[in-house]
Structure 1
Amino acid sequence: MRKRDRAARRVRRTLRVIVALAVVGLLALLAYGWAQRHPQDTPWAPLDLAQPPGLFTGRKLVALGEDFPRCQSLLDRAGVTYTVLAPLREGDNCGYDNALRFAADEPRITPFTPAGLGISCPVAAALALWQWEVVQPAAERHLRMRVTRIDHLGSYNCRRLYGRSSGDYSQHATANAVDIAGFRLADGSRISVLDNWKDGGAKAAFLRDVRDGACKLFATVLSPDYNAAHRDHFHLDQANRGSMSWRSCR
């Protein structure tokens, strides 16, 4: 009897191990299939501007600041034309060596006003995705028309945070930020962050959607909800905070 009991226990243990391994294998296959279908939601999959934003898209965009050729190749693959700007250096803390300007006649990019906006490549890649996946869909959803121009307050500016005389330098000091003031629509009307953020209508809903969508793509997004200094624009930047990788969205 004892021998039969021991043999039965061994068989049951073996069966439990086989079942556990089968379950683990099935879960692994399901996870692999999910990851293949959702590369934007996995940290190891390469960034692809043709994919909608996912859980790790923002971090991957920030990482492009360390790899200008990689950033350029992503824009090239997406069919976006641009001009690389000559490197600039002002003192010890200002300047850039990875900035570009979208081509004036680039059909995939909504034009910026004033024209000639120069921005770091990670900001450019994020702006492209933001336009395609956030701005235009939000305009169609809330306003039933497309955005034809985006108004900005500039990018590169050799200054410290909030224009102070001391302290850390702004991301603007390396063209790694852009300030968005408003949007022009197909019917000629304008949406202004200053005038429409609190008006409670469709324009305000649109502005909140594009702010919230930017938070998935930029390391820092500051709006009128942050402070009075941002009452008239969205500040968007790709600050690389290293291993902390924390993001600010307000």
Structure 2
Amino acid sequence: MRRAFCLLVLLMLFGTPLAIYRGWLPVPPAWNPWTPLDVRQPPNLLTGYKLMRLQRDPELCRMALDSSVLRYTAVADSEPAAGCAVENAVRVQRAGVQFSSAFLASCKLAVAYALFEEHGLQPAARQAFGQPVARVEHLGSFACRNIGTSQRRSQHASANALDIAGFRLKDGRRISVARHWEGAGQEALFLRQVRDAACSSFNVTLGPEYNAAHRDHFHLDMGLFRLCR
């Protein structure tokens, strides 16, 4: 009896994924680990895995990006500065919002941003102010440098990070991390909601509560480790 139970468990653990992969067991695309990530669908338990697959598969990346409203151009693999290679990257021109400038981004960073805007940033803006964000003001993505004074390369060194300093609403009002984070008004509440939403989309989200170096922006990256501060 116990042996039969163990065989049944093994069949479920290994047989079910194989059946889904082969198409023998139909499941909704959002719950199929091998279907492309659709940015329009709400994130679920498989979203992180699907994001992870994108960086080594440019075609899968393109399919995910094309499910979003991002306007982008593919960028050839290069080493813009010695020791800082950029692979499977795109130049993001705009999304549902305008950006203060176009920026270079690894594929999975660009897709993570699209998820963040669609399911985190804009819902938070509509809840707080009854209107969407029209412009995102950032401090850049690619910078060939280490983390602080350490010997470890920053995620910026591979265009795998983006620093956001503020947001401009549709009516022209500007929400600044530096100016409004410490406040007690609707702007401060909105920034905390944005920080929390970013933690769901990016592997690392660092803001003013992390250290003084981040007092005026949110650092968002898709590194190997998860950290939300």
Identify the TM-score tier after normalising by the shorter chain.
0.7 to 0.9
Identity %: 46
Normalising by structure 1, what TM-score?
0.75
Select the structure that is richer in helix: 1
Which structure: larger Rg? Answer: 1
8 Å CA contact 1:57–1:216 kept in 2: the answer is no
Which residue matches 1:51? 41
Q: Which runs of 5+ in 2 are unaligned?
A: 1-11, 21-25
Q: Spell out the pairing of 1:7-86 with structure 2 (5 A cutoff).
A: 36=27, 39=30, 46-78=36-68, 80-86=70-76
Which residue matches 2:159? 175
How much has 1:133 moved relative to structure 2? 1.0
Runs of 4+, deviation exceeding 3 Å = 35-40, 42-46, 77-81
Select the structure that is richer in strand: 2
Structure 2 residue matching 1:204: 3-state secondary structure: helix
How many pairs does the alignment contain? 208
Residue type at the aligned position of 2:96 = I
Distance across 1 between alignment mates of 2:72 and 2:122: 21
How much has 1:75 moved relative to structure 2? 1.2
Q: Which runs of 5+ in 1 are unaligned?
A: 1-23
Distance across 1 between alignment mates of 2:216 and 2:68: 31
Greater RCO structure (CA 8 Å; 6+ sep) = 1
How much has 1:188 moved relative to structure 2? 1.1
How much has 1:37 moved relative to structure 2? 6.0
Please list the CA deviations of residues 151-199 of structure 1 after superposition, one character each: whole Å capped at 9, or x if unmatched. 000000000002x2x4110000000000000000111111011111110
Normalising by structure 2, what TM-score?
0.81
How much has 1:217 moved relative to structure 2? 1.2
- Relative distance call for 1:186 and 1:194 in structure 2 (3 A) is same
8 Å CA contact 2:68–2:114 kept in 1: the answer is no
Distance across 2 between alignment mates of 1:198 and 1:59: 35
Instruction: State the superposition RMSD in angstroms.
Output: 2.6
Q: Spell out the pairing of 1:154-193 with structure 2 (5 A cutoff).
A: 154-162=140-148, 164=149, 166-193=150-177
How much has 1:129 moved relative to structure 2? 1.3
How much has 1:51 moved relative to structure 2? 1.0
